Homo-oligomer: A and B are copies of this chain.
Amino acid sequence: MDNRQNPEEKILEAARLVFHQKGFNGARMQEIADLAGMNKALLHYYFRNKESLFEKVFNETFAQMASKMSEIFLSEMTLMSKIQIFINFYLNFISRHSFVVQFIINALHDKPEQLREIILKQNLVPELMLEQIRKQLREEMGLDIDPLHIYVNILGLTVFPVVAKPLIQSLFRITDERMDVFFEQRKKIVPTFIENALKGYEKDKSLL
């Protein structure tokens, strides 16, 4: 671990790695200390206890993902471009931080409160993103659909395969290399899939 950083930063970096992979219950303070190249006691000196260290990591991680997402979906682009960019960003990001999403989902499942506060603290308003999507669906594609469904669809198509990667691999005996190819393909396949789906609504509005 990088010696130039101050201890706080070294601990946080180690904590990120361990918590992301093992979650709160699975993580060991000892492992974090080892990874940070220092003693357990120091973790308590800098961050009172395991819980508050976890909270720091969680808030930081979640805020980062949320703000990036917000940034993309509130920018000035066509909806389809945004989807394209989101999937690309996300699949690249995830290949380096493979456990964050599952980490977030699990952490949330344990204590569903907060989280909205984390977002608001960053001056992000989730509803704005939805309204922006609604507006673009209407103006760019002439569709009057609940944007939440579309948003969830985008996430599902992007996020699920990443989270379920071990399941998919084990089930169909797919090598790591073929899995990389698979995710590379999805960068093109998913946007097309979504675009097709939305264009289908345009053709036959009775489906809405």
Interface residues of A (CB under 8 A from B): 23, 25-26, 99, 102, 104-106, 108-110, 112-116, 119, 126-127, 130, 146, 148-149, 152-153, 155-161, 163-164, 166-173, 182, 185-186, 189-190, 192-201, 207
Contact = CB atoms under 8 A, between A and B. Distances in A.
Contacts of A105: 102, 163-164, 166-167
A194 B182 CA distance: 19
A114 to B, nearest CB: 8
Contacts of A189: 149
A80 to B, nearest CB: 13
25 contacts: A102-B109, A104-B167, A105-B167, A106-B106, A108-B166, A109-B166, A112-B169, A112-B170, A115-B170, A116-B170, A126-B172, A148-B168, A148-B182, A149-B185, A149-B186, A149-B189, A156-B160, A156-B161, A160-B160, A160-B163, A194-B197, A196-B198, A196-B201, A196-B207, A200-B200
Contacts of A200: 192, 195-197, 199-200
Contacts of A169: 112
Given A197-B193, A200-B200, A170 B108 contact: yes
A195 B173 CA distance: 28
The 3 closest A-B pairs by CB, nearest first: A196-B200, A156-B160, A25-B25
B106 A173 contact: no
A132 to B, nearest CB: 14
Contacts of A155: 160, 164
How many copies of this chain sit in the oligomeric assembly? 2
A160 B171 contact: no
Contacts of A99: 109
A172 B113 contact: no
Given A115-B167, A119-B171, A182-B148, A153 B108 contact: no
Query: Which of A99, A146, A167, A196 has the most chain B CB atoms closer than 10 A to its own CB?
Result: A196
A126 B168 CA distance: 10
